[in-house]
Amino acid sequence: MTEELFREDAKLLTCEATVTAVTGEGFQLDRTVFYPQGGGQAGDRGEWVLADGAVLQIADTRNGKLPGEIVHVPGPGQEAVLAQIAPGQRVVARIDALRRQRHMRFHTTTHLLCALIPKPVDGCSITADYARLDFHMNEPLDKEALNAGLARLVAEAHPVRHRWISEAELDANPSLVRSMSVQPPRGLGRVRVLEIEGVDLQPCGGTHVANTADIGAVVVTKVEKKSAMTRRVVLGFAEPAAG
């Protein structure tokens, strides 16, 4: 099991850790700030700095075959530094902060969309350049109205926080369940819920900004009819691409 530092503090960019496993897929650590692809959100990229100063580029992060395994996938080449990686080795793991910030801004915006469009979600993809969210519905969506709604929720600066609740707590609070747009997975004993104060509450394991004001200029770039019962909302950044 890897300690998932990103679940408790999405602002953590770096951590010291120990290599616990080396496999054909990649490398595992005892603890990490790297988010593995999941819940629609892309996996983190970044680098590891070894004790002698050598740097290993990490191109992607995935869930491993067993629950709780997080696999850091190295980028191509790098044979010399790859040969140094072995269990027990200490590294400093550091994510690509700009890319992760873009994931967090988009991801938090998808929660705002869930509040603006109270329909079931049947697909989600969050990358550094765009995000898309598919809603199970056949009514048309108004792009300008959605953008006005997003701009209002960002300007209102709602705090964003997560907490863990037990399944018993969930069962004892029917009002909590009613306000959730997604039903949580059962059987794990506890559920991580993400609350945007006064706006949205739903189970979510992803990374988010701490306040809707931190989302900044994210806009709906496209609304598409994907099928008779699917409307797709595509998000982009209103400011020019960084770098």
User: Comparing C-alpha atoms, which of 163, 167, 234 is closest to residue 196?
Assistant: 163
In whole angstroms, the minimum distance from the beta carbon of 70 to Zn ion comes to 18
Count of residues of this chain found to bind Zn ion when the rule CB under 5 A is applied: 3
Backbone angles phi, psi at 7, to 5 degrees: -75, -30
Residue 5 or 133: the one with the smaller Cβ distance to Zn ion is: 133
CA atoms of 115 and 107, how far apart (whole Å): 13
Q: Based on CB atoms, which residue is closest to Zn ion, 204 or 215?
A: 204
Closest separation in Å from C-beta 188 to Zn ion:
17
Residue nearer to Zn ion on the CB measure, 89 or 162:
162
At position 164, the amino acid (one-letter code) is W
Least distance from Zn ion to the Cβ atom of residue 160, Å: 9
Interface pattern 185-214 for Zn ion (x via CB under 5 A): ---------x---------x-x--------
| Minimum gap (Å) between residue 111 Cβ and Zn ion | 6
Instruction: Record the tokens describing residue 195, joined without a space.
Output: 């609350």
- The CA-atom distances, in angstroms, between 78 and each of 55, 81, 82, 84, 100 are 9, 6, 6, 10, 23
- The smaller minimum CB distance to Zn ion, of residues 74 and 203, is found at 203
Tell me if 182 sits within 8 A of 202, measured CB to CB: yes
Q: Which is nearer to Zn ion, 26 or 206 (CB)?
A: 206
Taking residue 75's Cβ as centre, other Cβ atoms within 10 Å add up to 12
**Footprint of Zn ion (CB under 5 A):** 194, 204, 206
